[in-house]
Structure 1
Amino acid sequence: MNKTAVISDIHGSSTGLNRALEQADRNGARRILLLGDLLYHGPRNPLPEGYDPQEVANILNSRKAEIVLAVRGNCDAEVDQMLIEFAIMGEYAILLHEERRIFATHGHHRHMEDLPDLLPGDVFMQGHTHLPVAEKRGGIHLFNPGSVSLPKGGWPPSFGMLDENGLTVQTLDGTELMRLALD
């Protein structure tokens, strides 16, 4: 069973990242997909719990062999790439997962209201809003794992899991918030 953790909007929180990775490990995740905003909290956000960008970089670098891909968020800068030992500056990436395309981006340029060309059954993943989403619209699967550090809209900190059954949004204690079957 191939499981991938989907993590977004860490914003320098070693606390949030560690909790998400611990839960992902409990779930059997062997890979990690990062949807941006890794180190910096941004000028509009408060400092998240456990704010330590260098420690976040160290944690991610220690697991770089597990990272499938990382895309650049609006708070990620070229200077961040100097600390991170894998590529983080791509605006988007396209993966193949069991005959479907997954378009992964942060969400500050392309987003759920401005989708790229996708076929029914494909997946569009984004972060950026800090709001979890797991729904199907017009045949396209839409997914946002929320934020591990600075959730919005009354949601708890969360991350995502991708496996052969679909996508789930989970809290950092493992409670499932949303499920989206990939049919």
Structure 2
Amino acid sequence: MKVLIVSDSHGKGKLLQQIVKRVSVDHVIHCGDFCTDRKELPKVSLTVVRGNCDWERVPEEQIWERGGLRFFVTHGHKHRVKTTPLPIRYRAEELGAKVACFGHSHFPFCEQVGNVLLINPGSISYPRGFNYPTYACLELVEGKISVTYYKTDGQKILERGGTFSI
């Protein structure tokens, strides 16, 4: 299973479409602040949540499951993700999720905290505290999760991501 994780596209629908077209995945997770009409989002297997800048009526939190792995998806602005990972970890545990995907900070972050893998793909439009826009791909193979980060042109970012046991 391969999942594309994006966040904070802030109206850059064409860029989002290009990334989705370039990357061959089973599912796409958008962690909010897409800032377009929902009909402009990619027509693929998609889990999307509402960010603090979105006007479309989509859920603020979603659970998505595949391959025996449960994902908690939210934007993160209501979980203080800019200051600490603990509230989002606790919410994921509360929901029985092993992976929590979130955005809001525009900063790529991937760390296993307790039994939860926290993934912030960064922003494909306006990075903060990082030199370039980013997205992430998650692959589940034989009980191991591999997370790889990319620049929006598809170039791998070696200093982010990793392999995790769940």
Interval of TM-score (by shorter of Structure 1 and Structure 2): 0.7 to 0.9
2:93 counterpart residue number: 118
RMSD over aligned CA atoms reads 2.4
Q: Which runs of 5+ in 2 are unaligned?
A: none
1:21 counterpart residue number: 20
Of stretches 133-142 and 172-181 in structure 1, the one that deviates more from structure 2 is 172-181
Residue 30 in structure 1 maps to residue 26 in structure 2: yes
Report the CA distance shift for 1:140/1:76 in structure 2 as closer, same or farther (over 3 A): same
Superposition TM-score, scaled by structure 1 size: 0.72
Report the CA distance shift for 1:58/1:93 in structure 2 as closer, same or farther (over 3 A): closer
Give the drift of 1:174. Answer: 1.9
Residue 175 in structure 1 maps to residue 148 in structure 2: no
Higher relative contact order (CA 8 A, sep 6+): 1
Distance 2:51 2:97 in 1: 25
Q: Verify the 8 A CA contact 2:71 2:97 in the aligned structure 1.
A: no
Report the CA distance shift for 1:179/1:9 in structure 2 as closer, same or farther (over 3 A): same
Give the drift of 1:59. Answer: 4.3
Distance 1:135 1:146 in 2: 13
Superposition TM-score, scaled by structure 2 size: 0.78
Distance 1:151 1:23 in 2: 21
Report the CA distance shift for 1:138/1:75 in structure 2 as closer, same or farther (over 3 A): same
Distance 1:151 1:76 in 2: 18
Distance 2:110 2:33 in 1: 20
Residue 109 in structure 1 maps to residue 78 in structure 2: yes
Give the partner amino acid of 1:34: H
Q: 4+ residue stretches of structure 1 with deviation over 4 A?
A: none
Give the drift of 1:117. Answer: 4.8
Please give the residue correspondences for 1:42-121 in structure 2 after superposition, counting only pairs within 5 Å.
53=36, 59-60=40-41, 63-64=42-43, 66-77=44-55, 80-81=56-57, 89-110=58-79, 111=81, 112-115=85-88, 116-118=91-93
Give the drift of 1:143. Answer: 0.4
1:159 counterpart residue number: 135
Report the CA distance shift for 1:101/1:31 in structure 2 as closer, same or farther (over 3 A): closer
Percent identity, aligned pairs only, is 29
Distance 1:10 1:146 in 2: 10
3-state SS in 1 of match to 2:4:
strand
More strand by share: 2
Report the CA distance shift for 1:99/1:162 in structure 2 as closer, same or farther (over 3 A): same
Distance 1:140 1:30 in 2: 22
